[in-house]
A and B are shown apart, each in its own frame.
Chain A
Amino acid sequence: MPAGSRPRTKLDLDPAVVRTARALARRAGRPVVKLARSHTTVSVERATLRLAGLEGADSDGIPWVNRLVDAVRADAGLEHGVALPVWHAMGTGEHADLVQLAQKAAAGSVTFRVPEGAAAGKAGRAARRDVGRGITRIDRRRKERERLIARIGDPPQRPWIYLIVATGDIYEDIPQARAAAREGADVVAVIRSTGQSLLDYVPEGATREGYAGTYATQENFRLMRAALDDVSRELGRYVRLTNYASGLCMPEMATMAGLERLDMMLNDSMYGILFRDINPIRTFVDQRFSRQVHARAGIIINTGEDNYLTTADAVDEAHTVTVSQLLNEFFAKEAGLEDWQLGLGHAFEINPDLPDSFRLELAHAMLARELFPAAPLKWMPPTKHMTGDVFRGYLLDGFFNLVGAMTGQGILLVGMMTEAVVTPWLSDRDLALQNVRYVLGAAGKLHEDFRPEAGGFIAGRARQVLGEAVELLEKINRDVTHPIPLLGAIADGTFGITRRPADRGKGLDGVVRRADGYVNPAIDILDLSPNVGMGRPGAKRSVTGSPRAN
């Protein structure tokens, strides 16, 4: 393409390099999608039962979905999915509903088998009818959100201001979340009790005992969404609710979020593998299902690239963020998510003592902005270099906010000057929001005037990081020792020093290869959603246009 015929962007990235980067991410991702489509997990099967309306838990607090999946697995295996054995058993007419079936299964008075022939067809149709009701409920929730936003209104400004609530007690979280919304939060995230990501079941009911966070349960989701609906009406802007689709119950979290109209979910393609030592196959299978649900539910995902920078050097490893964003984009689009749903993450974590650290941050943030022009990027505040000097930290947060304003970020997680000191106090939050408001008010439109010098430091740095990202993606694809190069790269420690082989890690025992007759009505329905597919190489995609006019 001759120079001058394409719209000039601020960094003037070479569109051919951008195309190469996307093509390499697609090449690395495709075999993983195939892998995901040829396996199931206990959590995918449990999510399917949740869609069919199976809720509640036994007297030990073990959810009925776990009981039923475990019983089916013991009798018939999971290779064919739970749908056929479960709805075949329901077809006998001996069980009033799924809860009763689960109770009897837990007591050992039902034996499951995979039906064949006409019986299989009958069970499959019944399963599809019941699971389809859950999907319809998710569709209705999405319409409800759209109606509420049309009636109440969106926040007047971008970025949306994202605040965290975490008391451990849902009934304490609710007044705190209301207060945060009144103080200016456009998005409220309820941090999970962090140990939850490694639980292989979802706790039930309203919970008051969390650890450094509040348990994610369907009831807690419902209570918090209802409280935020009230405060949204009061404030005249729709306040979004965020939780986590990560850890061992990722598909179930996504399903519950869709059923209870959560608006954003943290959902990263590789975070669980690298930072939680969850089995890679488990993660990719669970991830695909969860993203299909998010796509359907109109939920915005937030990816976790900030984690790469808190555990490694933010300058040396800047390109790993870009690589992860490209992979997250591929896996997201393959699962049917659209650009507006991609809250791709990045963070302000460069050592402030480094010369030109602010220019480097600006270069990295602009690179993300230009690579993903239609995505609502999630901009994460400094944590690693917050030293306990709260005064210096306040200044650093100001510079973080300034980069956010200059690069048109979509979602701004508000940085606290007491990061690494205490869980935020009321006054910390108030000061942090004053910081954000000052910067957005004073410099929110600076992006209209700011254009880095074409051959200058910032543009050069962005090109360099993109080049290193392409090199890393090439290296991943070159790994021929493993049939799925991305899994080989993860096993070899290509992403940071952690090595995560595909045959190790938590949750591996919950992974099952699908048999030829595998049936999952949820996946069947979700696969028919409009945008699902292998990265749609023929699809027209803007790589250099900048509709968000940053």
Chain B
Amino acid sequence: MSIDWITVIAQIANFLVLVWLLKRFLYKPILNGIDAREAEIARRMNEAGAAREKAEAAEQTFQTQTTRLQSERDAAVAEALKATESERDSLLAEARDRLAREQKEQQTQLERERRKFVARMQQAGTQTLVELTRKALHELADDTLEAATVRHVMAQLVTRADDLVRAAGSERTAVATTREPLPEPLQAQLRTAMGQHLPDFTLRFATDPDQSPGLVLQVGGAQLSWTVDSYAEALQALLDDRLPNAGSSRGGALHDR
């Protein structure tokens, strides 16, 4: 066992060199790397923490906005429903009004057409009545409607002469009105009857195209008459009694067409 001092010195030098080399190439890089990695980890942890806080804040903001948007949406939906209901009620009311108005107009139109139909039917009935009366008088009594009318008025004149005088007061003119000019023989018969029963009165003949066929003797405020209108009105009353809805049904049928 011996000590080689040259080797000792060389080994001391080697060891010192090794210390320097390992410090340079092992310890410092490793420890600095560890420190850097720990710093990097700490930095990333801080960044992660900051990101987490930011994400939580964003989540909170998102939830707040979601809640607000949901409440706004609910309010908007409720408002829209309310507006829709109001609009629906308005439209329904308007539709009901329009329907009622149209029904009223329809009823008015229906009534108007019914009246027109009744008037036409009355006119046709009157014309038919006149023609039938004329035909019946001609075939059964060889007489005319005008002559029969004059005789009927003359018969009334006999029975109501006193009433006519009282109703005439100071008036002394009597007017016989017909639709067509009365034939001269009939005028003479009527004038003769007036002379017999109302001698103080002057008879004047007149025509009225709007008047119904027949004769109207106007004496002051009273009158004696026979016109087809009275019969037509009686016919209409009869029809109304027996066929109360005839005019309406006819009018409705016309309206339906």
A in complex with B: no
Residues of A whose CB lies within 8 Å of any CB of B are none
